[in-house]
Chains A and B, each alone.
Chain A
Amino acid sequence: MKRSIFRHQFLPWVLLAPQLAVTFVFFLWPAAQAGWQSFLREDAFGLKTEFVGFGNYERLLQDDQYLNAFQVTLVFSVAVAVLALVVSLVLALAVDRMIVTARTYTTLLVWPYAVAPAIAGLLWWFIFNPTIGLLPYALEVVGVDWDHSLNGTQAMILVVVAAAWKQISYNFLFFVAGLQSIPASMREAAAIDGAGPFRRFWTITLPLLAPTSFFLLVVNTVYAMFDTLPVIDSTTEGGPAQATNILVYKVYVDGFLGLNLGSSAAQSVILMLIVVGLTVIQFRYIERRVEY
């Protein structure tokens, strides 16, 4: 905290006003609305509203489709995070060996960060298109019949690949920064002691990358759970048969297309609790890193 400050009392409120106004009107108020709505139930015509307590939540937790969405979200998030982290770590390790060409390779790998998730979905939808796409054609050669509009597992693979593809550049940049912060002297000392490159990776590089990896794991989970809605919407739209219907997408579909306000609001509240949990994990970890 600062020792020298200004003594004005009115000015700071003027400075804060725009941010606080937007926060109240478009964040806190709607969130409170969602909380309140989650205890109400409307009839089919929106004429009558009654207070049902935790009724909407109870219904949700008994709803097979909702439990299915939970499971789908879990599989999807883990798959996206693992795929995006492993690929980007391998690429970062390779770039870390480069001296002259590191910058060029970085430029060539960094730009997908700028591609919108919706477009990433569209691009992979094109490649996996069952009638004219390249990958279904290649897969047919090895005997796989690809049609993600019928096969739930294939639809899941499609959205995982599209979502992970977009996230690789982000993870890559953080892994490169993490690798650069590992002192070369450690690896040199290990090399003098006779440890080969693979031994050094497992005993030095990987443990020292643990904070970066953990941070990225949280960020990737948040990304997969919340930012991938456009990927789903531009490809499978949650289908076939709910196979790719993740939680955020279900909130949107039930609320906007199904107009089931109470249930959608209850789902929103559950999602908010998940975000709060993830944010707390992220910040606890950051505080720990500051201590070190």
Chain B
Amino acid sequence: MVERRPVLNLLAHAVLIVGVLVVAFPVWLAIVASTHPQTAFQTGLIPVWPGTNAFENYSVMLGDGLSNMGAPPLAGMLWNSMVMALVIACGKIAISITSAFAIVYFRFPFRMLAFWCIFITLMLPVEVRILPTFKVVADLGMLNSYAGLTIPLIASATATFLFRQVFLTIPDELLEASRIDGAGPLRFFRDMLIPLSRTNIAALFVILFIYGWNQYLWPLLITTDEGYYTIVAGIKRMAEAVDAIPVWNYVMAAAVMAMLPPVVVVIAMQRVFVKGLIETEK
């Protein structure tokens, strides 16, 4: 701080407190709504203070779901989301780190072509080519499967570039030293590059886990079997039913459960996440 300005400091605190409250407000209402019985939403105003029905709402949603509205139990959907998020995060990291290794540490024909092929994926977000991609997945028989949920989303130009950037900062002497010690490429990769990029891997994991968990359109389209619904996509199907019958308590319980895992990951790994986010985006 440059100088003492008590009034400005006070103002800054006020701005931040208002900001925090505004940011938290929708989630607060969702948590509150998930603790009330269904009758609280039939007339009047949504409640702003917690009720006493929390245990019942959550146990109904986790165990039984709203079967009459096409919503399977949350427990199964949470499991599917977890599988999807973990496979996408680990898969993206695994295939990107090996790609970056190949591009940085080898010279081979068509190296630049391979690099550009990966680069181009940046420009093809799934929303844009959704129909033909869906068709490819359908033709491969990957609808309603974990493979279909994860593999088409697993290529990552951003992660490849990040690892490339990290590898370029690693001094050449390290490779020469390992070579003198008799290490081949895979040994060097395992014993040098992976340990040296550990913090980047952790940061990337947080970002990619959230990316995978929050996928919406893709799981919505390629899963028609309840057994493969993910929670974020499943909520849409529930909310559609809500227009007819106001079961906001159940829908909001599902929303809270859908938010919880990624929010916990971000808060628990805040330091590495913040650093990683700002570095990943070049």
Contacts and interface: CB of A to CB of B under 8 A. Distances in A.
A123 B27 contact: yes
Contacts of B120: 23, 27-28
Interface string A94-128: 11011101000111111111111111101111110
B2 A187 contact: yes
B252 interface: yes
Given A12-B102, A19-B96, 8 more contacts: A6-B185, A12-B111, A15-B102, A110-B273, A116-B262, A177-B278, A200-B2, A256-B134
B233 A118 contact: yes
A115 B263 contact: yes
A95 B16 contact: yes
Secondary structure dominating the interface of A: helix
B114 A16 contact: yes
Contacts of A124: 26
Contact of A22 (B27, B95, B263, B281): B95
Which 6 residue pairs of A and B lie closest in terms of their CB atoms, listed nearest first? A30-B132, A116-B214, A114-B262, A12-B102, A33-B132, A123-B26
B129 A25 contact: no
A183 B118 CA distance: 37
Contacts, number: 296
B76 interface: no
A75 interface: no
A197 B136 contact: no
Contacts of A11: 102, 106, 185-186
A124 B117 CA distance: 39
Given A25-B136, A233-B216, A279-B122, A122 B255 contact: yes
B28 to A, nearest CB: 10
Interface of A: 1-9, 11-13, 15-16, 18-20, 22-31, 33-34, 37, 87, 90-91, 93-95, 97-99, 101, 105-120, 122-127, 129, 132-134, 137, 165, 168-170, 173-174, 177, 184, 187-188, 191, 197, 200, 215, 219, 226-227, 229-230, 233-234, 248, 251-252, 255-256, 261, 264-265, 268, 271-272, 275-276, 279, 286
A116 to B, nearest CB: 4
Contacts of A97: 1, 8-9, 12
A94 B259 CA distance: 27
A165 B106 contact: no
Interface stretch (B49-57, B63-71, B147-155): B147-155
A214 to B, nearest CB: 13
A34 B131 contact: yes
Contacts of A8: 106, 185
